Structure 1
Amino acid sequence: MAQAMKIAIVDDEQDMRQSISQWLALSGYDTETFASAEDALKALGPDYPGIVISDIKMPGMDGMQFLKKLMGSDSSLPVIMITGHGDVPMAVEAMRVGAFDFLEKPFNPDRMSELAKRATGARRLTLDTRALRRELSDGGQIMKKLIGTSPVMDRLREDILDLGQADGHVLIDGETGTGKTLVAHALHAVGSRAGKKFVLVSCAALEEEALAKRLFGPMQPEDSMLPAVEEARGGTLVLEDVEALSEPLQAKLLSFINEQGIPGETRIIAISNLQEAGKTSEDVLRADLFYRLAALRITVPPLRQRGEDILTLFTRLSEQFSEEYGCDAPQVTAQEAAQLLQAPWPGNVRQLINVAERAVLQSRRGSGTIASLLMSDHEDMQPVVTTEGKPLKEYVEAFERMLIDNTMRRHKGSIASVMDELCLPRRTLNEKMAKYGLQRSDYLG
Structure 2
Amino acid sequence: MAQAMKIAIVDDEQDMRQSISQWLALSGYDTETFSSAEEALKVLGPDYPGIVISDIKMPGMDGMQFLKKLMGSDSALPVIMITGHGDVPMAVEAMRVGAFDFLEKPFNPDRMSELAKRATGARRLTLDNRALRRELSDGGQIMKKLIGQSPVMERLREDILDLGQADGHVLIDGETGTGKTLVAHALHAVGSRAGKKFVLISCAALEEEALAKRLFGPMLPEDSMLPAVEDARGGTLVLEDIDALSETLQAKLLSVINEQGTPAETRIIAISNLQEAGKTCEDALRPDLFYRLAALRITVPPLRQRGEDILTLFTRLSEQFSEEYGCDAPQVSAQEAAQLLQAPWPGNVRQLINIAERAVLQSRRGSGTIASLLMSDHEEMQPVMTTEGKPLKEYVEAFERMLIDNTMRRHKGSIASVMDELCLPRRTLNEKMAKYGLQRSDYLA
TM-score normalised by length of structure 2? 0.69
CA contact (8 A) 2:51 2:120 kept: yes
2:42 alignment partner, SS class:
helix
Determine the C-alpha separation between the residues in 2 that align with 1:392 and 1:91.
57
CA contact (8 A) 2:4 2:28 kept: no
How far does residue 97 in structure 1 lie from its aligned partner after superposition?
67
Q: Please list the CA deviations of residues 324-377 of structure 1 after superposition, one character each: whole Å capped at 9, or x if unmatched.
A: 000000000111100000111111000000000000000111111111101111
The number of residues matched between the two structures is: 445
For residues 396 and 210 of structure 1, do their structure 2 counterparts lie closer, same or farther at Cα, with a shift above 3 Å needed?
same
How far does residue 279 in structure 1 lie from its aligned partner after superposition?
1.1
For residues 68 and 174 of structure 1, do their structure 2 counterparts lie closer, same or farther at Cα, with a shift above 3 Å needed?
closer
CA contact (8 A) 2:136 2:143 kept: no
Q: Does 1:121 align with 2:142?
A: no
CA contact (8 A) 2:343 2:384 kept: no
For residues 50 and 316 of structure 1, do their structure 2 counterparts lie closer, same or farther at Cα, with a shift above 3 Å needed?
farther
Determine the C-alpha separation between the residues in 2 that align with 1:68 and 1:427.
41
How far does residue 242 in structure 1 lie from its aligned partner after superposition?
0.1
CA contact (8 A) 2:322 2:360 kept: yes
Percent of aligned positions with the same letter in both sequences? Answer: 95
CA contact (8 A) 1:71 1:77 kept: yes
How far does residue 389 in structure 1 lie from its aligned partner after superposition?
1.1
CA contact (8 A) 1:199 1:238 kept: yes
How far does residue 433 in structure 1 lie from its aligned partner after superposition?
0.3
For residues 173 and 4 of structure 1, do their structure 2 counterparts lie closer, same or farther at Cα, with a shift above 3 Å needed?
same
Determine the C-alpha separation between the residues in 2 that align with 1:381 and 1:284.
32
Q: Does 1:227 align with 2:227?
A: yes
How far does residue 169 in structure 1 lie from its aligned partner after superposition?
0.1
CA contact (8 A) 1:138 1:189 kept: no
How far does residue 382 in structure 1 lie from its aligned partner after superposition?
2.4
Gaps of 5+ in 1: none
For residues 376 and 137 of structure 1, do their structure 2 counterparts lie closer, same or farther at Cα, with a shift above 3 Å needed?
same
Determine the C-alpha separation between the residues in 2 that align with 1:42 and 1:118.
25
CA contact (8 A) 2:308 2:398 kept: yes
For residues 295 and 87 of structure 1, do their structure 2 counterparts lie closer, same or farther at Cα, with a shift above 3 Å needed?
closer
Match of 1:108 in 2: 108
CA contact (8 A) 1:138 1:190 kept: no
How far does residue 6 in structure 1 lie from its aligned partner after superposition?
49
Q: Please list the CA deviations of residues 271-301 of structure 1 after superposition, one character each: whole Å capped at 9, or x if unmatched.
A: 0012563211110100000000000000000
Gaps of 5+ in 2: none
CA contact (8 A) 2:343 2:386 kept: no
For residues 103 and 322 of structure 1, do their structure 2 counterparts lie closer, same or farther at Cα, with a shift above 3 Å needed?
farther
1:214 alignment partner, SS class:
helix
CA contact (8 A) 1:137 1:194 kept: no
Point out the more displaced range, 340-349 or 98-107. 98-107
Determine the C-alpha separation between the residues in 2 that align with 1:82 and 1:436.
48
CA contact (8 A) 2:133 2:161 kept: no
How far does residue 8 in structure 1 lie from its aligned partner after superposition?
57
How far does residue 31 in structure 1 lie from its aligned partner after superposition?
57
Determine the C-alpha separation between the residues in 1 that align with 2:27 and 2:364.
30
Determine the C-alpha separation between the residues in 2 that align with 1:104 and 1:308.
56
Determine the C-alpha separation between the residues in 2 that align with 1:105 and 1:366.
82
For residues 118 and 292 of structure 1, do their structure 2 counterparts lie closer, same or farther at Cα, with a shift above 3 Å needed?
closer
For residues 37 and 367 of structure 1, do their structure 2 counterparts lie closer, same or farther at Cα, with a shift above 3 Å needed?
farther
For residues 280 and 354 of structure 1, do their structure 2 counterparts lie closer, same or farther at Cα, with a shift above 3 Å needed?
same
For residues 82 and 238 of structure 1, do their structure 2 counterparts lie closer, same or farther at Cα, with a shift above 3 Å needed?
farther
CA contact (8 A) 1:8 1:53 kept: yes
CA contact (8 A) 1:171 1:293 kept: yes
For residues 281 and 176 of structure 1, do their structure 2 counterparts lie closer, same or farther at Cα, with a shift above 3 Å needed?
same
Q: Please list the CA deviations of residues 130-165 of structure 1 after superposition, one character each: whole Å capped at 9, or x if unmatched.
A: 999999999931111100000000000000000000
Correspondences of 1:208-287 after superposition (within 5 Å): 208-274=208-274, 277-287=277-287
How far does residue 318 in structure 1 lie from its aligned partner after superposition?
0.2
Determine the C-alpha separation between the residues in 2 that align with 1:241 and 1:233.
21
How far does residue 378 in structure 1 lie from its aligned partner after superposition?
2.2
CA contact (8 A) 1:137 1:189 kept: no
For residues 295 and 122 of structure 1, do their structure 2 counterparts lie closer, same or farther at Cα, with a shift above 3 Å needed?
closer
TM-score normalised by length of structure 1? 0.69
Moved over 4 A (4+): 1-139, 384-388
Determine the C-alpha separation between the residues in 2 that align with 1:141 and 1:82.
44
Match of 1:46 in 2: 46
For residues 401 and 56 of structure 1, do their structure 2 counterparts lie closer, same or farther at Cα, with a shift above 3 Å needed?
closer
Q: Please list the CA deviations of residues 237-282 of structure 1 after superposition, one character each: whole Å capped at 9, or x if unmatched.
A: 0000000000000000000000000111000000001256321111
Point out the more displaced range, 52-61 or 366-375. 52-61
2:143 alignment partner, SS class:
helix
Point out the more displaced range, 148-157 or 17-26. 17-26
How far does residue 69 in structure 1 lie from its aligned partner after superposition?
61
Q: Please list the CA deviations of residues 370-422 of structure 1 after superposition, one character each: whole Å capped at 9, or x if unmatched.
A: 11101111222324578971100000000000000000000000000000000
1:139 alignment partner, SS class:
coil
How far does residue 76 in structure 1 lie from its aligned partner after superposition?
47
Determine the C-alpha separation between the residues in 2 that align with 1:375 and 1:428.
37
Determine the C-alpha separation between the residues in 1 that align with 2:322 and 2:38.
44
For residues 64 and 238 of structure 1, do their structure 2 counterparts lie closer, same or farther at Cα, with a shift above 3 Å needed?
farther
CA contact (8 A) 1:37 1:62 kept: yes
How far does residue 80 in structure 1 lie from its aligned partner after superposition?
65
How far does residue 426 in structure 1 lie from its aligned partner after superposition?
0.3
For residues 214 and 356 of structure 1, do their structure 2 counterparts lie closer, same or farther at Cα, with a shift above 3 Å needed?
same
CA contact (8 A) 1:188 1:236 kept: yes
For residues 379 and 86 of structure 1, do their structure 2 counterparts lie closer, same or farther at Cα, with a shift above 3 Å needed?
farther
Determine the C-alpha separation between the residues in 1 that align with 2:110 and 2:262.
60
How far does residue 218 in structure 1 lie from its aligned partner after superposition?
0.5
CA contact (8 A) 2:419 2:426 kept: yes
Give the root-mean-square deviation of aligned CA atoms. 16.4
Determine the C-alpha separation between the residues in 1 that align with 2:226 and 2:430.
57
Q: Please list the CA deviations of residues 17-63 of structure 1 after superposition, one character each: whole Å capped at 9, or x if unmatched.
A: 99999999999999999999999999999999999999999999999
For residues 152 and 394 of structure 1, do their structure 2 counterparts lie closer, same or farther at Cα, with a shift above 3 Å needed?
same
2:201 alignment partner, SS class:
strand
1:290 alignment partner, SS class:
helix
CA contact (8 A) 1:139 1:189 kept: no
Determine the C-alpha separation between the residues in 2 that align with 1:61 and 1:402.
51
Determine the C-alpha separation between the residues in 1 that align with 2:144 and 2:398.
21
For residues 60 and 426 of structure 1, do their structure 2 counterparts lie closer, same or farther at Cα, with a shift above 3 Å needed?
closer
